[in-house]
Amino acid sequence: MGRLVIVSNRAPSVDGTGDSGGLVVALKDALSQQGGLWIGGAPKQTETPSDELVFHQRPDFDIALFELEPELYRDYYLGYSNSVLWPALHGRVDLINVQPHFSAAYREVARRLARQIAQTVTHDDVIWVHDYQLIPLAHELRALGVTSRIGFFLHIPLPDLQTFKAIPDWQDLAGCLADYDLLGLQTQRDLSHLINIFRHTLRGELRANGNMGINGREVVLGCFPISIDVRGFRQLAVEGAARTAPPPLPRLIGVDRLDYSKGLPHRLHGYETFLSQAPEFCNKVALLQIAPPTRDDVDAYKAIRSELEHLAGRINGSFGTVEWTPVQYIHRALPRDDLAVLYRYSRVGLVTPLFDGMNLVAKEYVAAQDESDPGVLILSQFAGAAEEMSDALIVNPHDPQDVADAIKTALQMPLAERRKRHEALYSHLEEHDVAHWSAAFLKRLLAVEKTDPVWLERFARLELVAKTG
């Protein structure tokens, strides 16, 4: 094996200062061991982008940045990626904004990036592409004759076939997915959706080994639930709590990017229902909702912010007193170590998205708890994490009564039951941490047959065309 080459829309910081949490932590060790390269978008756009990748060296692995013009980046990222793919893949087809130049920009970025990558990778390198912004990349790399193993991991959910069809050029997009050697998804739910999409779009045949036969090739499929650095995050919480006083009231906490997929208004409706039906808890608990801004240039995000602020104000106006604020709302990001302490000192963790690929907040909340007196996780049945974390209180986020009942159950749950649920959740997380996730994906990708006869036939035709002009 040559290098591990990671490709994503965003790259880690050049100096390593942005390595806390997220995908970087998940892949840092694997990159360091293999002498890896991380290719990602430059943090700023430029009117005169380089035609080649811009390389930077770090002690642990190299970084290569691709540059884009502001207009192209806007149409590719805010346009097609986040005004078409994001709402469609999260089941919000009513929010799709279809513009022909969005699709053109999306494919142009994949073509341009493929040309730059093809200049630096070798046959022995292993390429791992991440997330929805770069789905066509393998197709473009194959067209250039790149023979490396190429895997893809979708971090967000994949909807059913009928929802997928709302995407412009959905058949082409399915074909691009089929050009990868390995496709990894978060959940069995998403995997079943992908199989159905391939069956009805590309006449894919499900084989006995769980892979799909498509156009004479075997596309390897797998479910790889992403996780966190469980022990590392727990240590952050323990160390931070030793320096921090607990809150005066039992706390409910929600930490989510301000996004319509996270179900934040539905969560507040459930909390409001709880307060109205259980007045004995008024002045006795408080909800802390942290919702950092994201994609403020997209109209749908402006709307969700306005709705959330209105609901928080209504609840505080209806139930609050001079001494008690029912909802504390923070519209900015907090440092990771601060979040760890907030989780540890929260009696209830509210993770109630309407549709989510995984949701790592659920796993961070469990990892941060004091095992001698743990809090209770309330988890949406539509979060990918619900497939693994059945010992949480599973709720329907669309039903405010269900959420309200779960909040009351969590606050009244005996210590013995809280400990039992937490022990089951934590032991699973500890065994299936982020290192397990990346190792499982790479092991599967390395097992893919490198000399696929169909690809070899295509490469031979490409070489013949090149020689004959």
Give me the active site residues, please: 155, 356
Question: 50, 92, 47, 95: which is closest to 73 by C-alpha?
Answer: 47
What is the torsional sign of CA 66, 157, 397, 437? negative
> Do residues 462 and 145 touch, judged by C-beta distance below 8 A?
yes
Q: Which DSSP category does 323 fall into?
A: S
Cβ pair 101, 77 in contact under 8 A: no
- Residue closest to 330 by CA, chosen among 322, 342, 319: 342
Q: Which residues pair with residue 223 across a beta bridge? A: 185
| Helix boundaries (H) for 369-414 | 400-412
Provide the CB-side half-sphere exposure for 360 (13 A, CA).
21
CB atoms under 10 Å from CB of 60, counted, come to 16
Joined together, the tokens standing for residue 347 give 């009696």
Q: Are 117 and 142 in contact (CB under 8 A)?
A: no
Please tell me what DSSP assigns to residue 384: G
Tokens of 334: 């907090």
Rounded Cα distance, 422 and 430, in Å: 12
- C-alpha span between 286 and 100 (Å, rounded): 47
Burial (CB count within 10 angstroms: exposed 0-12, middle 13-18, buried 19+), residue 141: buried
Amino acid at 150: I
Looking up tokens 């009942």 gives 405
- Whole-angstrom CA distances from 164 to 168, 171, 193, 299, 300 are 9, 9, 9, 22, 20
User: 190-194: long-range contacts at Cβ-Cβ below 8 A with a sequence spacing of 24 or more?
Assistant: 190/154, 190/157, 190/158, 190/223, 190/357, 190/384, 191/221, 191/222, 191/223, 193/158, 193/159, 193/160, 193/161, 193/164, 194/158, 194/221
